[in-house]
Structure 1
């Protein structure tokens, strides 16, 4: 009998809180930030004195900080659990995850997470959706723009309230649902797509197609530069200064939304059209540190890969990651020979063994596709023999 699998999906909606509800959200942001810093400080001091890891519970701080009693208790519990998970990740792999740091009011994101409680008496839940709003603990019924509704078999788990730099409030509802695993179709070279990262084209696939998304930040650079010049001439703290700062924040938010919209649509198109996708484990952070490569992180290729991965997995399709040291660019797709003398800037090159003229990016994507299928077949054989 096939075992069911549990997935989490998120519905993010825009909130229209009243002034009192907005003030309550802001107070919760401050309480969660304060509690995080206090817990982290006590944990560091306790570890220094005893060489042991211990994080106090939120109840310890309510006596000295009575304002914590006005906050959502589940939000304070989530702060404790998030800090505990952050230390678990750090202790498990210090080279990958950094030590938890203190949160700043100016630099950190304003958000808090509350859990949905299901009452035993059957009277309902602490968080639920209405026709035009969301009922949140202690905040009451908050008006929301519900563009999407959850399916009836989904189970609400958490709600994360966040505030953008432009002053907009959002609520991210996390639902859990179970599905039976669908029968996987073995990928073939014809139904598998290889993606090779390209700085100028975002990516080049194994069919030679380039994404070529708009450069949103570059297109708005002149407007953004002019707005920032105006801001620099204004008196900090004045009304004109705050209004101009708000306009700049809205422009940055608009650019971010344009980028996310493209990444979601492009990843959905690929996930629906192909049975498997092969990508390279490229370290974009190290690549962005190279001065001659330009703004690598602006395109959002790393987020695109994460979007593509979870969408493929929910469809029961393999997402194959090829090892980052695989010589996909220097390997000839036709004969398999490796050209170690290939210049770094050559867009087209001729194989010295078979004499085939190759397009650098397309050849790399085809090699990633073939290598990914080899890895997938090996993993399936290993799973069958286990």
Structure 2
């Protein structure tokens, strides 16, 4: 069995936007509450609070008057938040390099939650996505989903610019066919042109962030001078967020097209193993390394080959 995800843009109505905002807040509250609980428990006797214990405590908490608002959110989404926290804790102790789980800020403008399909509680048909507690939400379905695909889960997200997306995960039977490797290509990371291949060719990388850097700096200066909580500040925040989103979309579009061209032309790609995080922190290369999106490019190549 293999998995495949489709990401569609959602267009919720005003009532659904309020329900989504409540769900984002409840998921964040559950994550932060039990992260604090785990930290205190570990400091006391060096033991971990398991997911099962957290789930039982949450069920009891929902019955209280103080935390009764948790009933308004999708219960599976709250459980998934606890699972994500438990996974983050386990990953830290297995590989400390991944970093310790951090509290989720209310001021962070990028929100998301995940829910699992159980007994047909999530369906997609005729341009609408049915979500628990939310109902039928209109979406732009730009891909035809094969009938044999089985829906597993959905991750609903909201970007800083206020757009809503649904990443829908499907499961299907995948028959791997052996293929004889005939065409090979080697890629070497390049700071200015993204990469240089074994044939000596380099793509003309447009460097989207560097080209927009002055405009971004100007808009961010305006944002910093505005009064917090004002409508003008919120409008300016959206303006800055849309600029960042445009740069991100331009970069992603270029990398998708380049990776597709290479995947169609070659059977095997050899890439040097680099620690991009360490490289971005050294010699003041942070902006240039992030602008290239080398890690994203290698990820695209990996699943397209």
Same fold (TM over 0.5): yes
Instruction: Measure how far apart 1:271 and its partner are.
Output: 1.6
Equivalence for 2:291: 298
- For residues 249 and 294 of structure 1, the distance between their equivalents in structure 2, rounded to whole angstroms, comes to 20
| In the alignment, structure 1 residue 310 sits paired with structure 2 residue 297 | no
What secondary structure is seen at the aligned counterpart in 2 of 1:214? coil
User: Residues 237 and 84 (structure 1 numbering): CA distance in 2 closer, same or farther, change over 3 Å?
Assistant: closer
Instruction: Measure how far apart 1:106 and its partner are.
Output: 2.0
What secondary structure is seen at the aligned counterpart in 1 of 2:139? strand
TM-score by length of 1: 0.73
- RMSD over equivalenced CA pairs, Å: 1.6
Equivalence for 2:143: 148
| In the alignment, structure 1 residue 102 sits paired with structure 2 residue 103 | yes
| Structure 1 spans left out of the alignment, 5+ residues | 1-5, 119-124, 313-386
Equivalent residue pairs, number? 297
What CA deviation, in whole Å up to 9, does each residue of 1:315-337 have, x standing for no partner? xxxxxxxxxxxxxxxxxxxxxxx
Instruction: Measure how far apart 1:30 and its partner are.
Output: 0.5
Equivalence for 2:198: 206
What CA deviation, in whole Å up to 9, does each residue of 1:254-279 have, x standing for no partner? 11111111122222221222110111
Greater relative contact order: 1 or 2 (C-alpha under 8 angstroms, separation 6 or more)? Answer: 2
What secondary structure is seen at the aligned counterpart in 1 of 2:98? coil
Instruction: Measure how far apart 1:182 and its partner are.
Output: 0.3
Q: Give 1 or 2 for the bigger CA radius of gyration.
A: 1
User: Residues 236 and 44 (structure 1 numbering): CA distance in 2 closer, same or farther, change over 3 Å?
Assistant: closer
TM-score by length of 2: 0.92
| Structure 2 spans left out of the alignment, 5+ residues | none
| In the alignment, structure 1 residue 254 sits paired with structure 2 residue 246 | yes
Q: Is the 8 Å Cα contact of residues 109 and 160 (structure 2) preserved in structure 1?
A: no
Q: Is the 8 Å Cα contact of residues 38 and 49 (structure 2) preserved in structure 1?
A: yes
Instruction: Measure how far apart 1:107 and its partner are.
Output: 3.3
Matches within 5 A, 1:72-87: 72-87=74-89
| In the alignment, structure 1 residue 163 sits paired with structure 2 residue 155 | no
Instruction: Measure how far apart 1:108 and its partner are.
Output: 6.9
Equivalence for 1:218: 210
Q: Is the 8 Å Cα contact of residues 122 and 132 (structure 2) preserved in structure 1?
A: yes
Matches within 5 A, 1:267-306: 267-293=259-285, 295=287, 296-306=289-299
Which structure has greater helix proportion? Answer: 2
What CA deviation, in whole Å up to 9, does each residue of 1:189-246 have, x standing for no partner? xx11101000011000111111222111122223223323333444333332222221
